[in-house]
């Protein structure tokens, strides 16, 4: 088998720079926007490696390149194609993919190999193989990865250059030419909007807006804590089971929530939670060895927490509200009205099947009883 270009040399500086840019957030139209994937292979790296693995190194053809100078010149020509493949906004440069495909076709004597990726993950390798015009077979054990790859490699190509089917676009865009996946994107926006409106109609009452600095913001989630009664007879508060009270550490200062404790001779109780900035006075109340009461500091073993759960005595309390402020999130202290509305949503159905005690090597602890 002839020696390939990747076995001899690569323009690594170009590939590294393009891959670093590819990993940056917010760079526009990019397949990574479909779904975040762990340790995703940068697309320029996948593109360059595939190309360099399929074209011969010039040293394998001394009849065509008899001298080192001729080989270096041919190698530099192939490097030029790789540099073109590492440009920004490659989805707009189909002529470059065509040039690379023709080069691969020439080196493979017209018989293109099938690229098999049994651990496709986020799909960088099969996607770039398809862009280079190669037949691809991809699979993964993770169903999320399978869905990502089906969307990129099967659904998008099937509906490429097709007009949208929704009635609004048909009425407004008569005779318009639809290129690439623009027609599919138009349908996704239209039907996504319909689903969003229907969801608001059905459950919108459970998501009231909150006012922040005079603006009405949509609540996107409530943050809750499980609670158990403190076994200390002097205390008896409903102690929260929280690993960390920090809500956001992406920007400084941190945003945190803290319980408001009311102590008295008759016992302690938590009257609510307050959101603040900086470092929380109480870092957290639960770890692998047990829990600590936020009111009295009593150390509680996990056996007590588990017994409370089995006996159906685990409660819950809202510890923060997260609202959408457009570009970013706003964290707010919970109020009684929000908590009352949240608790009014009672599911009409819940799973009635039981989990195995041990499956696929995972240890499943005894289930707690929650009403």
pLDDT-derived band at 358, boundaries 50, 70, 90: low
Spell out the alpha helix ranges (H) of 249-324: 302-310
Residue 260 is predicted with a pLDDT of 92
CB atoms within 10 A of CB 310: 13
Average pLDDT for 359-366:
51
Peptide bond into 253 cis (omega under 30): yes
Cα first-last separation, the chain: 66
Name which of 296, 198, 196 is nearest 238 in CA terms: 296
CA atoms of 122 and 114, how far apart (whole Å): 19
Identify the pLDDT of residue 312: 87
Query: What is residue 204's DSSP assignment?
Result: G
**Mean pLDDT of all residues in the chain?**
89
Of the candidates 23, 40, 31, the one whose C-alpha atom is nearest the C-alpha of residue 181 is 31
Task: DSSP letter for 254, please.
Answer: P
pLDDT tens digits, 46-59? 999 999 999 999 99
pLDDT at 29 over 80: no
């Amino acid at each position: 088998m002839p020696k390939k270009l990747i076995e001899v040399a690569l323009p690594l500086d170009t590939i590294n720079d393009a891959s670093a840019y590819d990993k940056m957030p917010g760079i526009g139209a990019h397949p990574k926007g479909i779904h975040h994937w762990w340790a995703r292979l940068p697309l320029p790296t996948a593109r360059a490696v595939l190309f360099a693995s399929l074209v011969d190194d010039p040293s394998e053809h001394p009849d065509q390149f008899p001298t080192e100078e001729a080989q270096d010149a041919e190698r530099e020509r192939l490097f030029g194609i790789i540099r073109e493949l590492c440009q920004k906004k490659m989805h707009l440069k189909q002529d470059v993919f065509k040039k690379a495909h023709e080069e691969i076709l020439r080196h493979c004597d017209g018989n293109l190999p099938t690229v098999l990726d049994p651990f496709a993950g986020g799909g960088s390798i099969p996607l770039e193989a398809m862009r280079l015009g190669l037949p691809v077979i991809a699979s993964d054990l993770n169903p999320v990865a399978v869905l990502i790859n089906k969307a990129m490699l099967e659904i998008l190509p099937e509906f490429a250059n097709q007009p949208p089917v929704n009635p609004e676009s048909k009425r407004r865009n008569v005779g318009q030419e639809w290129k690439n996946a623009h027609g599919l994107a138009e349908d996704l926006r239209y039907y996504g909007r319909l689903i969003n409106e229907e969801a608001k109609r059905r459950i919108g009452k459970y998501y009231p807006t909150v006012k922040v600095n005079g603006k009405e913001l949509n609540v996107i989630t409530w943050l809750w804590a499980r609670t158990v009664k403190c076994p200390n007879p002097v205390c008896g508060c409903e102690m929260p089971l929280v690993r960390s009270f920090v809500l956001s550490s992406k920007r400084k200062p941190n945003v945190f929530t803290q319980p408001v404790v009311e102590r008295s001779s008759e016992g302690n109780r938590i009257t609510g939670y307050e959101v603040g900035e900086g470092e929380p006075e109480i870092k957290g109340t639960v770890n692998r060895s047990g829990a600590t009461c936020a009111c009295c500091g009593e150390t509680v073993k996990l056996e007590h927490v588990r017994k409370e759960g089995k006996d159906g005595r685990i409660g819950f309390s809202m510890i923060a509200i997260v609202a959408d402020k457009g570009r970013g999130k706003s964290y707010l202290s919970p109020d009684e009205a929000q908590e009352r509305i949240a608790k009014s949503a009672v599911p009409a159905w819940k799973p009635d099947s039981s989990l195995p005690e041990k499956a696929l090597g995972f240890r499943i602890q005894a289930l707690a009883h929650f009403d």
